[in-house]
Structure 1
Amino acid sequence: MSLAAQRPRLALFDLDHTLIPMDSDHGWGEFAIAMGWCDRTEFGRRNDEFFAHYQAGTLNVQDYVRFATEAIVQRGEQAAIAAHERFMQTVIHPAIKPQAVALVQSHLRAGDVVVITSATNEFVTRPIAAAFGVEHLLSTELERGADGWFTGEVKGLPNMREGKVTRMDAWLAARGLSWDTVESTFYSDSMNDVPLLERVNHPVATNPEPRLRALAQERGWRVLDLFTENT
């Protein structure tokens, strides 16, 4: 048996535009507008602006998280959780494609440790990870105040770009593992995730944006168009 076959297998997934064909953070913002929690004109303009910065790799995560979580901080825990349940039912569940579920389940059935690693904050992403049957989630964490609810500030290192590698380093170390002791695969659509794609054994450019598609082809990485293939 080869050394690679003896290692624990780790399957990492980005979330937005990788496992679901949308941006969950942007979608939550649109949902908040529809509920009347935010002014459509101003919030919509700023939400689109932040999203463009994310796509360009120039997003200030701290500024964005304060903006994106302002409504849930103000509304409070009970109302925010109830709203997210409606968001899951009306927006997320209809967007989850069978081929994405099948891909995740194939790794779980094979005994791989599956981790969703997303730049989107934990309030938005944790129920989505649960919908895929994934226990392990690394996302941008949020500080909690004395009342136990979110303050709107980022806790620790944002889970984005090089931060995804640092957070995965810590996740592995906490389990007595390292990159050298696991066989790792990472699926992502985004150039923001190149640092982690370069770190794993098996990078998979998944529904890749044009720049990542070109880079993957240049480097010989696997390209998976998940939403147009029978996976």
Structure 2
Amino acid sequence: MKLTLFDLDHTLINTDSDYEWGVFTTALGWNDAADFARQNDAYYQHYKAGTLDIHDYMRFATRAIRQQGASKSEAAHADFMRSVVQKAIKPQALDLVRQHQAAGDVVVIVTATNEFVTRPIADAFGVPDLIAVNLVRDPASGWFTGEIDGTPSFREGKIARVQAWLAERQLDWADVDSTFYSDSINDLPLLEQVNHPVATNPDDRLRAIAQARGWRILELFH
């Protein structure tokens, strides 16, 4: 089985969906603009540096939707898809996904962004298999609590989550010919795990490693 894994932010789309969602909800008046921008920028810098506390960040990132509730949040996300995300989905990224699907590959998006933000984006790419950060739901309300459910698909956690996905299908790494596209140094563990790592629009640290190791480098948005 050929398994093709894609990171999402700055890999398949030329922006960070979680960051942009924060900007979008701030424009709706759901966050204190100055305070949110300061914290959002700080978390983003930690992410790029590989020092992000994913649990702390997830509480911050879901605060607005937890306060607003499901109906308002889902309606806002539909607007977000139309006004922000669709512009970030470029033809060359769609073509790359479809080329792998047409070749018979099983395509999975593996992202450290939460399921609420990313499920509609994966759908827009025509990818049913999404491994994202799952969120705990309150039994009474059915809405998110801000806590992470299970292992977050972040750094080494991406390997664990893909491993679990394979196990659900009675497979292991040895049973698949695996490819992973990613831009981020945070994804180095999974890039090292797969048969075919592809540094895609790579950050400076990942680019240096890819060049040193002879990995393929793909500039998808150039």
TM-score normalised by L of structure 2: 0.99
- The C-alpha deviation readout for 1:27-60, integer Å capped at 9, x for no partner, is 0000011111001000110000000000011100
Amino acid at match of 2:100: H
Q: Secondary structure at the match of 2:11?
A: coil
Distance 1:202 1:16 in 2: 20
Match of 1:109 in 2: 102
Q: Secondary structure at the match of 1:47?
A: helix
Distance 2:91 2:124 in 1: 12
Q: Secondary structure at the match of 2:62?
A: helix
Amino acid at match of 2:60: F
Deviation at residue 16 of structure 1 after TM alignment: 0.3
Match of 1:214 in 2: 208
Match of 2:83 in 1: 90
Q: Supply the RMSD in Å over aligned alpha carbons.
A: 0.5
Distance 1:142 1:188 in 2: 23
Distance 1:179 1:81 in 2: 36
- The C-alpha deviation readout for 1:39-90, integer Å capped at 9, x for no partner, is 1000110000000000011100111000110110111100000000000000
Taking the TM superposition and a 5 Å limit, the aligned residue runs for 1:131-150 are 131-146=124-139, 147-150=141-144
Taking the TM superposition and a 5 Å limit, the aligned residue runs for 1:47-196 are 47-146=40-139, 147-196=141-190
Distance 2:169 2:115 in 1: 21
Distance 1:151 1:102 in 2: 37
- Where in structure 2 are there 5+ consecutive unaligned residues? none
Deviation at residue 171 of structure 1 after TM alignment: 0.6
Distance 1:179 1:153 in 2: 29
Q: Secondary structure at the match of 1:151?
A: strand
Deviation at residue 158 of structure 1 after TM alignment: 1.0
Deviation at residue 209 of structure 1 after TM alignment: 0.4
Distance 1:19 1:180 in 2: 26
Match of 1:3 in 2: none
- The C-alpha deviation readout for 1:80-109, integer Å capped at 9, x for no partner, is 000000000000001110000000000111
Select which of 193, 200, 203 maps to 2:194: 200
- The C-alpha deviation readout for 1:115-155, integer Å capped at 9, x for no partner, is 00000000000000000000000011100002111111111
Distance 2:138 2:106 in 1: 32
Task: Give the percent of matched residue pairs that are identical in Structure 1 and Structure 2.
Answer: 62
